[in-house]
Structure 1
Amino acid sequence: MAVVLFLCLSTTFFLFLCFLSSIRSYKKNMAENSEREPITIKRLLKRGNITLKALLLKKKKNSRQAVKLEAQLSLAGVPMKAEEFKVFQWFSVIISGGILYILANEFFLLAAGAVIGFFLPRLWLKQKQRKRIKQFNALLPGMLNSIIGSLKAGFSFLQSLQMVAEESGSPIKEEVQYVLKSLQYGTSMEDSLIQWKERMPSEDLSLLVEAILIQRQVGGNLAYLLEKIVDTNRERNKLENQIKTLTAQGRLSGLIISFLPIGLGAVIYVMNPDYIGTLFSHPIGQAMLIAGAAGQVIGFLFIRKITTIEV
């Protein structure tokens, strides 16, 4: 109930500020127009031309950002438009900031919650993208085996893609359908594959597309080439799993070292709040908290960098 009341009050206050701003700008324009020269048709046309150009440039910039955001949403498999995601992002800002302000009744926590709420949907979108790319890489060998079987049976590469789109599951199905739709719109096979590689940032797919493009230029047995790519991907995945196993202890140590101070501080706060409360109230304690948090983040990033090995 308190959160709903806060959202209603904040929305009303925002609309009131917009109303005051519009009245102030109207009075300012009236005062400026009374002091300036008389308005002529030539002056109005010139001002309208400048305003139209500015609006077109702004609309073009916003459309590029919207197209980029829609591509990210499509890559993550989120059935949402760019405008809907922006509205969801601003709702996250209001809700997270309002919750922290209601719980702590501190203005700086309201600003911190608003910043957190602004970046949370982006982090969620990045996580969805990484998960979908991982699923795509896991299902890619099965897709290649289906294409190899179709090629050996006498089908063309396009017919093999159509069979994969009908038989495979997500996300292979959506990605192959994207290529087929691009071909239906008149795009060549080479350009469609290049667009597919740019759309899906997967190293396995990049290797596959480059091999197919080279084969279409110089010729050769495509089925044999795809079999070699499947073997390469399997060996590469096997090596990645071995590296993850060998670096598991270091990654776990990094997580424990990073979250141990937070957990220990929470336990001390539950046992004796007055003892640890000085850190949050005294300026020296606040500076120590900021320095400790920065050190924890830097240490976590260093450990993550050491334990991350590119294959």
Structure 2
Amino acid sequence: MVLVVGLGCLLLALALGVVALVLKPPVTAAGSLALIETSYSAAVVSKQEVGASPSWLRSIALRLSPAGVAVRLQRRLDLAGNPPSWTTDRVLAAKGLGLFLGAGLAALLTFRSPGWLVLGLAAGAVSGFFLPDLLLVNAGQKRQEKIRRALPDALDMLTVCVEAGLGFDASLAQVARNTTGPLAQECARVLQEMQIGKSRSEALRSLTERTTVAELRAFVSALAQAGELGVPIASVLREQAREMRIRRRQRAEEQAQKVPVKILFPLIVCLFPAMFVVIIGPGAISIARVLMHL
């Protein structure tokens, strides 16, 4: 009973520690639009005002990490939307905390066997150390997938607004105001960067550095080339929107083609054994009775 209670306390402490150091509050498009009139430096200052993490945990994580870990973490934070409560220092502190909590949990589970104790300490420490990285990568992948799914509809709205007579900046503001999700936040940030003095091409190219969506990168590249060559932006938007709809349909068809393969393994593992028991079971019982009688 004591071991079970101790194990539960350690699991709860690990979960609360990671949640307190890593998880972010939800960021809405309205909040992003409120930042359009402010500078990005003000956002960075407010980000730095979040409660500081223990420096000794960060130093331990830095010593155990390869060179350039801060740059890679910042890149992952950009892909995850650069949320206010996630900073490189806090992620490093979470890695250090996970190191000790994982090792402690493994020691509690394997303290009776000295041989397994060393292996458990190593496995628990490594698992706890890389848990914040996994959470960060997972958040970035989910956000990029949301951007990919919202891009065709956002381009349709952008095309309609431009063809209705609005300028590109005003159309982008309409997209940011009337849609939700990470893409609306990115549009709001592009407008914000243009407000503080960046050119349109520079703000759009900065957007490509914060995403891994190939379709969005191609769209930004087409807009930049259209601006340099003097091509009407409405025709470029119309062609890009049509291409995005085609790609969305192709992705849906690709996912549909994967369904039979994905269903095969659950059928083999779950359905076929039950069918064998029902179909072959009576015959096997009859054969066993005949053989035993003989």
TM-score higher than 0.5 here? yes
- Residue pair 2:10, 2:101 contacting (<8 A) in 1 also: no
3-state SS, counterpart of residue 176 of structure 2: helix
Aligned twin of 1:272? none
CA drift at 1:82: 1.2
CA drift at 1:179: 1.2
In the TM superposition, 1:201-240 aligns within 5 A as: 201-240=212-251
CA drift at 1:4: 9.8
CA RMSD across the alignment:
3.0
CA drift at 1:71: 3.8
In the TM superposition, 1:1-311 aligns within 5 A as: 2=6, 65-66=69-70, 68-77=72-81, 78=83, 79-105=85-111, 106-251=117-262
3-state SS, counterpart of residue 247 of structure 1: helix
CA drift at 1:66: 3.4
Which runs of 5 or more structure 2 residues have no equivalent in the other structure? 12-61, 112-116, 271-294
TM-score by length of 1: 0.58
The structure carrying a bigger helix percent of its residues is 1
- Counterpart residue identity of residue 153, structure 2: G
Q: How many residues align?
A: 206
Classify 1:68/1:238 alpha carbon distance in 2 versus 1 (closer, same or farther; 3 Å). Answer: same
Return the alpha-carbon distance in structure 2 between the equivalents of residues 182 and 162 of structure 1. Answer: 13
Q: Deviations over 1:148-189 (max 9, x none)?
A: 122122111111112222222121122112212222232211
CA drift at 1:224: 2.5
Return the alpha-carbon distance in structure 2 between the equivalents of residues 129 and 237 of structure 1. Answer: 21
Which runs of 5 or more structure 1 residues have no equivalent in the other structure? 8-57, 261-311
CA drift at 1:196: 0.8
Return the alpha-carbon distance in structure 1 between the equivalents of residues 139 and 230 of structure 2. Answer: 38
Return the alpha-carbon distance in structure 2 between the equivalents of residues 107 and 63 of structure 1. Answer: 27
Q: Which aligned segments of 4 or more residues in structure 1 are displaced greater than 3 angstroms?
A: 1-7, 62-68, 248-257
Classify 1:251/1:176 alpha carbon distance in 2 versus 1 (closer, same or farther; 3 Å). Answer: same
Is the radius of gyration larger for structure 1 or structure 2?
1
Percent identity between matched residues is 26
- Residue pair 2:152, 2:248 contacting (<8 A) in 1 also: no
Return the alpha-carbon distance in structure 1 between the equivalents of residues 213 and 201 of structure 2. Answer: 18
- Counterpart residue identity of residue 248, structure 1: V
- Residue pair 1:151, 1:157 contacting (<8 A) in 2 also: yes
Return the alpha-carbon distance in structure 2 between the equivalents of residues 125 and 93 of structure 1. Answer: 16
3-state SS, counterpart of residue 166 of structure 2: coil
Classify 1:121/1:253 alpha carbon distance in 2 versus 1 (closer, same or farther; 3 Å). Answer: farther
Classify 1:113/1:214 alpha carbon distance in 2 versus 1 (closer, same or farther; 3 Å). Answer: same
Return the alpha-carbon distance in structure 1 between the equivalents of residues 254 and 194 of structure 2. Answer: 39
- Residue pair 2:150, 2:183 contacting (<8 A) in 1 also: yes
